[in-house]
Structure 1
């Protein structure tokens, strides 16, 4: 991968990070870096979870059930679940999330850490054109999913007790939207359906 590939792999995440942290009145840089690092780490269990696909048989199968399972369970739910886990870890160690705004910001930081590493991995495997497309689709999509997850996570922290139903709702909505995005990307029914991912 050339230097331009590296730039397109990391720049979108860095730009979104810069926008996100501007929404914090105080910027504890060590905790911001910690959230980003947790995002890096969350890629590892997500990748192992997604390897379940190799147990499903023919990798070229267009079976409808497999498409839905991969898009909504392995990728949509899997990635959002592991990002939620490290968001819990961040809150456990830092206690920085006390409202919706903080929930969104730190959730976005974790998601951008995830997206940054994921994009670098993709850059080693796929051509430059794929990285450019991902820069304008997949990375912003990760930010959107993170806003949903962070919104409900921050809301769940605002009371005297942790509101688990709110967290479950956030995970559900983020996973469904993520799964829908990936369904459009992975489907082979109609080429024009791929553009549906842009609506996400």
Structure 2
């Protein structure tokens, strides 16, 4: 049991440390990041309840609805909502990159709890693929979400960027699900999609850090 939980959570902790340490200027308090991780993990339970209710009421009538509504929309909206509720207005959310740290922490908390439940059902032999695809994808959806939340907080056009912070993770998650549900040889399609996600995520990280560098340079010169 302990080995199973460790196998489910350890990759998420490693990814969270990676994104946390990518902050080149002012890293966030560990207790705030941990709180977001826990909130993300707890989101699994209302998510499962809503998804079960949709199935019971036969609201989901197609694979497309399952991919976009039952999974992508519900999961990304709840993650977005909990970030907005708990940290968006917090004093520690004071730089562009902070959005990436907090949104990724929520996403990886969610993915970890989901991973524990999955490995309990299907065994340790699925741990590697779970870490490679679902866990990593949740983290990268979180990076995209957090990037736009950072822009929404510190730039004009807040409504636009808040919309982007939900819409783009939802769109990417939906595409991920569509590949998984509609392709028999899904790994041949999902592998290049994951490479694209990583490149996109790393680009957002670089841009967030560059914006922070410009801010600190301007602050030092004033």
Report the TM-score range of the alignment, normalised by the length of the smaller protein: 0.7 to 0.9
Check 1:74–1:152 CA distance in 2 against 1; reply closer, same or farther (3 A cut). Answer: same
Give the TM-score, by structure 2 length: 0.77
| Number of aligned residue pairs | 190
Question: Aligned partners of 2:190 and 2:58: how far apart in 1?
Answer: 25
Q: Cα deviations across residues 106-156 of structure 1 (Å, max 9, x unaligned)?
A: 111111111111100111111323232111111110011001111111100
Question: Aligned partners of 1:164 and 1:46: how far apart in 2?
Answer: 26
Residue in 2 that maps onto 1:43? 44
Asked if structure 1 preserves the Cα contact closer than 8 Å seen for 2:99 and 2:150, the reply is: yes
Question: Aligned partners of 2:31 and 2:2: how far apart in 1?
Answer: 28
- The alignment status of 1:132 with 2:128, answered yes or no, reads yes
Question: Aligned partners of 2:68 and 2:50: how far apart in 1?
Answer: 13
- The alignment status of 1:31 with 2:7, answered yes or no, reads no
Question: Aligned partners of 1:29 and 1:47: how far apart in 2?
Answer: 28
Over the aligned positions, Cα root-mean-square deviation in angstroms equals 2.1
- The alignment status of 1:195 with 2:196, answered yes or no, reads no
1:33 deviation in Å? 1.6
Of 67, 73, 87, the residue aligned with 2:69 is: 73
Gaps of 5+ in 1: 60-64
- The alignment status of 1:9 with 2:4, answered yes or no, reads no
Check 1:28–1:137 CA distance in 2 against 1; reply closer, same or farther (3 A cut). Answer: same
Q: Cα deviations across residues 2-22 of structure 1 (Å, max 9, x unaligned)?
A: 554333211110101111221
Gaps of 5+ in 2: 195-222
Give the TM-score, by structure 1 length: 0.85
